[in-house]
Amino acid sequence: MALTVVLGGARSGKSALAVRRARVFGGPVVFVATGEARDAEMTERIARHRAERDQRWSTVEAPIDLAAAVSAVPQDAFAIVDCLSLWTANLVQRGDDEGSVVARAAATAGLAAARPGPTIAVSNEVGMGVVPPYELGRRYRDVLGRVNAIWAEHAAEVLLVVAGRTLVLGDDRGR
């Protein structure tokens, strides 16, 4: 099938859109989760997201090795990767340099795009806000912008979700 990338701000409805699309799929669904419960707030957020999912779906935790998780999703399953922004943060936080993160993103996006089953990757669009006042925040924003662009390059469809509304982003690369 095809890779879809869903971008948007925090709490914009990105994950809800991915879940709605998976619910109408009619086949197996694998939710690839990249977040880690490192504090009480994140533990609560993860629990809330789990409660929103269909109990028949499989969940794979992949905070670092996203390529292995995507590769392991059955070919006929609908894959939801939620989310690239946390995955990128995990890599940046452990000290991966930009080149390493970008290479991982390209390889993993290629795997996702090559799957016969549909894949939706969710990510935050962080390049529309203020410039972070600290170096790590600027580095993360820049790396995530590159990760999002790489995944979008591999995608058949790129959507922007704003306030629960979805915009289809056009492709001006001559495809």
Catalytic residues: 49
On whether the CB atoms of residues 142 and 102 are closer than 8 A, the answer is no
- Kindly give the pairing relationship between strand 165-168 and strand 157-162: antiparallel
Token reading at 5: 């990338």
CA 48 to chain centroid, in Å, comes to: 17
On whether the CB atoms of residues 117 and 1 are closer than 8 A, the answer is yes
On whether the CB atoms of residues 54 and 29 are closer than 8 A, the answer is yes
Q: Kindly tell me the burial class for residue 131, based on how many C-beta atoms sit within 10 Å of its own C-beta (0-12, 13-18, 19 or more).
A: exposed
